[in-house]
Amino acid sequence: MAWTLPKHLRDVLERGLDRQVRLAVTGLSRAGKTAFLTSLINQLRHAGLDAQLELVSAVREHRLLGAQRVDQPDLSIPRFPYDEAMASLQASPAAWPTPTRGMSELRLAIKYRTRRASRHLTGEEATLTLDLIDYPGEWLLDLPMLQQDFHDWSGTMASLMTPERRAFMSTWLEKASAHTPDSVVEEQTLAELAAHYTDGLHQARRDGGFYFIQPGRFLLPGELRDAPVLQFYPLVQLEGWSREALDALPADSLYQTLKARFEHYKRHVITPFYKSYFQRFDRQVVLVDVLTALNSGPAVFNELRYTMNALMQSFNYGRNGLFSRLFTPRIDRLAIAATKADHVTPDQHDALQTLLSTLMSQPLQDMRYANIPARAFALASIRATTVKKLENVTPNALALSGRTLEDQEVLLFPGDVPSTLPDETFWARQGFSFTPFHPARHTSGALPHIRMDALLDWLLGDKWL
């Protein structure tokens, strides 16, 4: 007969044990990961002091005693550069923290008092060890490659080559077309072609707003910068070649060389990331810069929607057979957050949150199906604007005041955020526009934010009970 510990004994045991959570934060580059982690660490370090965390129940109940940095367990992962980020915000003039480019980690020990068992008892002191891990969302875009061979992947990449994308990849396309699949290409030439492919990806991302980029590591190589494992590219001109003919080519042919490197990348880059890191995360935050996409027009907005849905496949445990074969993930809570909400007036925050939920409705539904709580938020990690009432214009009209990156003081109303997916009428109206803001110089206390506390309470509230 199975024997279970009575509930009150179980509670005592659990409370006696120090708890531990590995909380991972991801998002495409410039989504706001570095700013978010900087603020999260800052808020926790100022919890119970001057941080504005009214929505965190443990803070309201005066149970959060403080957070301290402690040595991280995995010495092979760079430390998240919190001090450097704070130094940028404190500098004169203040600057946004330099974004992280690979994976980084920081461990906090959070002291709290457990909830009182009765009115007459004070809670016991306990420690929550919080590991914060930051990694590029681009890496998650590689997941589908695991189910493809080089031939299929090349076909998928060829289907993505719309005229708009081709424009950014033209140098690579032109140089690569000089080499047929059966030719023998020198190592140096191959490295140059791969470099042109990578440059094209960077340009497509930077100047064209193309978010869906494969392989993800080509954009953010982390510790693999210049490594030969990243020196391959898809063959997008395979017309006239049957799969059998290609498979029969000798090992030193271009096709077979690229195929071998593609398989190596899958085995030595993609799989180890999922096996060694991803499957050890307990909770996950996915950040999305919805507002910048909305600001950039329909093509970029739709590309963001497509890319985020592809990225979220990594959390689709219910439907993804790959996971059960490869590893057992264990994320038990996931928050999706629209960042930089200080770019819009507070009356737009609900619409922003609803828009994000709509944009991500399929992945959110998949999470629910897999019985993993998931919620959408709208937040600003580091608020760079203040809200002004324009009573002399229209009653209750709000506007934002801030400094542009060019150091100009502005007062503006960026427009209404649509709460459903924007249609042609929205885009035709051009009803939305803002410029990026400069952060205010931070002198002391906790960083100003919007709704970081709502997210914190939902993500960790059950851990410091």
CA 389, 395, 398, 401 torsion-angle sign: negative
Q: Minimum distance from CB of 434 to ligand GDP (Å)?
A: 9
Q: Per CB under 6 A, does 135 bind ligand GDP?
A: no
Query: How many angstroms from the chain centroid is the CA of residue 454?
Result: 18
Q: Minimum distance from CB of 292 to ligand GDP (Å)?
A: 8
What separation in angstroms does the CA of 378 have from each of 8, 121, 375, 381? 38, 38, 10, 10
Contact 26, 34 (CB under 8 A): no
Q: Which of 47, 109, 20, 40 has the alpha carbon at shortest distance from 80?
A: 40
Q: What is the DSSP letter of 155?
A: H
- Contacting ligand GDP (CB under 6 A), which of 303, 342, 453, 457? 342
Q: Which is nearer to ligand GDP, 29 or 154 (CB)?
A: 29
- Could you give the residue ranges of the DSSP H alpha helices within 328-413? 349-359, 361-369
Which span sits near ligand GDP by CB under 6 A: 1-9, 64-72, 314-322, 338-346? Answer: 338-346
Q: Minimum distance from CB of 32 to ligand GDP (Å)?
A: 4
Q: Minimum distance from CB of 340 to ligand GDP (Å)?
A: 4
Q: Per CB under 6 A, does 340 bind ligand GDP?
A: yes
* Cα separation, 34 vs 30, whole angstroms: 9
- Among positions 232-291, residues that touch ligand GDP (CB under 6 A) are none
Q: Which of 379, 273, 372 has the alpha carbon at shortest distance from 326?
A: 273
Q: Minimum distance from CB of 397 to ligand GDP (Å)?
A: 21
Q: Which is nearer to ligand GDP, 44 or 157 (CB)?
A: 44
Q: Minimum distance from CB of 75 to ligand GDP (Å)?
A: 23
First to last CA, the chain: 32
Q: Which two tokens stand for residue 81?
A: 């550069």
* Cα separation, 206 vs 203, whole angstroms: 5
Number of residues that bind ligand GDP (CB under 6 A): 21
Q: Which is nearer to ligand GDP, 34 or 231 (CB)?
A: 34
Q: Per CB under 6 A, does 436 bind ligand GDP?
A: yes
* One character per residue 375-404, x = contact with ligand GDP (rule: CB under 6 A): -----xxx-x--------------------
Q: Which is nearer to ligand GDP, 235 or 384 (CB)?
A: 384
Helix (H, G, I), strand (E, B) or coil at 244: helix
Strand partners, 334: 284, 374
Q: Minimum distance from CB of 10 to ligand GDP (Å)?
A: 40
- Among positions 72-131, residues that touch ligand GDP (CB under 6 A) are 96, 99-100
Backbone dihedral angles phi then psi of residue 283, each to the nearest 5 degrees = -140, 155
Q: Which is nearer to ligand GDP, 138 or 457 (CB)?
A: 138
Q: Minimum distance from CB of 267 to ligand GDP (Å)?
A: 28
- Among positions 7-66, residues that touch ligand GDP (CB under 6 A) are 27, 29-35
The residue assigned the tokens 């890191």 is: 277
Contact 182, 249 (CB under 8 A): yes
Binding site for ligand GDP (CB under 6 A): 27, 29-35, 96, 99-100, 339-340, 342-343, 380-382, 384, 436-437
